[in-house]
Amino acid sequence: MLTALIVTARIAANPVSNVFQKQLAQRGAHPLFIIGTTHALLALACAPVLLDVSRLQAPAAFWTSIVIAAALAVAGNVLLVHALEAGDLSVLGPINAYKPLLSVVLGIVLLGEVPTLMGVAGMLLILAGSYFVVDSAATRSERSVFGHFFRSSGVQFRLAALALSATEAVFLKRALLLSTPLTTFALWSVLGLPIAAVVAAVLLRGRIKQELVVFGRHPRTFLWLALATGVMQTTTIVTFGRLQVGYSLALFQLSALISVFLGHRYFQERDIQKRLVGAAVMVAGAATIVTFGQR
């Protein structure tokens, strides 16, 4: 029962955080500033935990894993905000179902692992679902549907973010196995701040004042984003401690349905019924791959 509640919280928190990220991007905040500020607020909230972390006797493998996970999280989330800035939430949310498909493809190329027939069926379901979440303007020519889909900058940013987040999940799980959920979350939050700050010092030089003005105008949105991100990451880590990463990621795909609804509710995105159908098909495909796709 507790695991179900934790997973449900994770499923809801992810698209909610995406809403706040998209709102801030529309209001002029740079994606890197959005992610850096999120980590700064989370680091402040985790300050009491750091007193215990200072006495932590963890192996080198833990520190390596958590640093890599934090770096991948910053990079992946910056790309995700770029994607949300360029595309519809109701399209980009369901694309997360490509994560299990990516793992299957990498398994074929790198490990020579051949998926089962159910795994192939799951891949086909994800591709079929993609057809329904593409903008209706692209469907006027069936041949152009997937070409239009994958040429979209929002989709390209989202797929790149997806690849990074899938890799992050592995290192996050490794860190968790060598520590506790609270310590893992606290260090993930804190380590993301200097990583984002170093990159921002290079890429955002000359526009920090502009970013601070945006923060001053919308502090509540930044705070709500930090809260949603904190809930999402905490429940992700706890879920990884209770379930296998693959099964966890499959359950998380259910957030695609919420993303479609929130995209319509807050950003007036169109074709909600069609995209809900596509998201449901893609979720089914992701679950099929994770559950039955391995030999």
- Burial of residue 51, with CB atoms counted within 10 A of its CB: 0-12 exposed, 13-18 middle, 19 or more buried: exposed
User: What are the sequence ranges of the domains in the chain?
Assistant: 2-292
Contact 252, 11 (CB under 8 A): yes
Distance CA 262, CA 280 (A): 15
Q: Which residues of 193-205 are buried (b: 16+ CB within 10 A; e: fewer)?
A: bebbeebbeeebe
Can you spell out the DSSP letters for 53-106?
Answer: HTT----HHHHHHHHHHHHHHHHHHHHHHHHHHHS-HHHHTGGGGHHHHHHHHH
Q: DSSP assignment, residue 137?
A: G
Alpha-carbon distance 37 to 31, whole Å? Answer: 10
The token pair that represents 77 in the structure block = 């989330």
Which one, of 288, 243, 285, 295, lies nearest residue 96 by Cα?
A: 285
* Residue 158, CA atoms < 13 Å, CB-side half-sphere: 25
The full DSSP string for 209-257 is: HHHHHHHHH-HHHHHHHHHHHHHHHHHHHHHHHHS-HHHHHHHHTTHHH
pLDDT at 155: 82
Residue 216: predicted pLDDT? 96
pLDDT at 137 (0 to 100): 46
> What are the tokens at 162?
């997806």
Per-residue pLDDT tens, the chain, 295 aa: give them.
788 899 899 999 999 999 999 999 999 999 999 999 999 999 999 888 776 665 667 788 999 999 999 999 999 999 999 999 988 888 888 887 777 777 667 666 655 667 778 877 887 888 788 777 765 444 455 455 566 667 778 888 988 998 898 888 888 989 998 888 888 999 999 999 999 999 988 888 888 899 999 999 999 999 999 999 999 999 999 988 887 776 777 778 888 889 989 998 999 888 888 888 888 888 888 778 767 765 5
The reported pTM is 0.86
- CA distance between the termini of the chain: 30
For 27-53, what is the HEC assignment?
CCCCHHHHHHHHHHHHHHHCHHHHHHH
